[in-house]
Every structure is written in structure tokens, then in C-alpha cells.
Amino acid sequence: MDTPRTSYDAFSRLTHWLTATVILVAMVVGFFFPHMPDSGTFQFFSTLNKSLGTLLLPIMVARYVWRHFRPALPYPPSMAWWNQGAAHLFHEVFYLVILTAVVSGLGMLKSGFYLCWLIYIPAPVKDLDLNYLFASIHSVALNVLGVMLLMHVSAVIWHYQRGRQAILYRMLPRSTSNQPSPS
């Protein structure tokens, strides 16, 4: 008899933590580098930010596709149906906001850049009006993403403080010790 899964598969966990790391670094870099004087340091962080955003696109597409082809991980039985629906909706919107931030970030580029200083990526949009539109969308998407990221981390803390660590262990590397059973 199959035992119900209590944690996400390795690929889901890997892409979750890659996404989280890339987003956090890109948001910090993206917040500070525009305020730097135009110098070698500015160029370094600008290229880093563009590279991280560009690399995030295939990671997010893979996550989204994988999410819809693997069997769903059941919520704990104690979780109310409306809470399950809210969690599912939140994650779907979270994915959409991340993809919007990435695509608009690429669309706002007025010139090409070297991805990780190696491969030239031309600017995908050659119209300044569209570049400015994408820049506006990017700004809004990043603000929404920041709020959603805070909500996500707050939910993790909230679950932890209420003794619901099982829901947290779903996204952590597998370990045979100290994992509470789902409740």
C-alpha cells in the first residue's frame, strides 16, 4: 500500500529554493544598483540583476509546468477547505506575479546585455514607449511581489509558531529525524 507523500519531490524543493534565492538577491541588487554612480560597480550589479531575472524565467516555467504534471501534495486534514483554497489561489497568483516581474523586466531593457558576462542577449523590445510601459509594469509587479513575499514568510512563521511544522517540512530537504506527522 502506498504511503501518502508528506513532502514535495526533490525537483520541486530544488526549484523552490533556487527561485527564493534568485528573487531575494535580485530584489536587493535591483533596489540598490540604480542608486549607484554609473561605474564599473553599477555595470556589475546591473548585469547581475538582468542575468538573475533572465535565469529565473526558465526556472519559473519549469516549476509551473512541473506543478501541473506531478500529483498534488495533500494538505493536512486539519486544514479547512477554504484555507486550502486560499493557499492554492495565493500560490497561483504568486507564480503569475513572479512571471510578470521577470517578463516585464526583460521588456523594459533598452539595450542588450551579456547573460552572466558570457552570452549576448539582445533587448527583446525595440520601442521606447513599450520599454517605459514594461518598466511601469515591472515596478508594480515588484511591489506586489514584495508584499506577497512578506505574506509568504509570515505564513511560514505563523504555522511554525502554532506547532504546524509538518506544513513547513513539505518544502525542506528530506530527513528521517524530527519531522512531525501531518496534522
The domains found in the chain, sorted by start residue, are: 10-169 (1.20.950.20)
User: pLDDT tens across 69-79, in order?
Assistant: 887 788 777 78
Residue 2 banded pLDDT, cuts 50, 70, 90? low
pLDDT for 12-34, tens place per residue?
Answer: 899 999 999 999 999 999 888 88
What type of residue sits at position 114?
Y
pTM, rounded to two decimals: 0.85
User: CA-CA distances (angstroms) from residue 165 to 20, 64, 76, 158?
Assistant: 19, 25, 11, 10
Instruction: Report the alpha-carbon distance of residue 146 to residue 143 in Å, rounded.
Output: 5
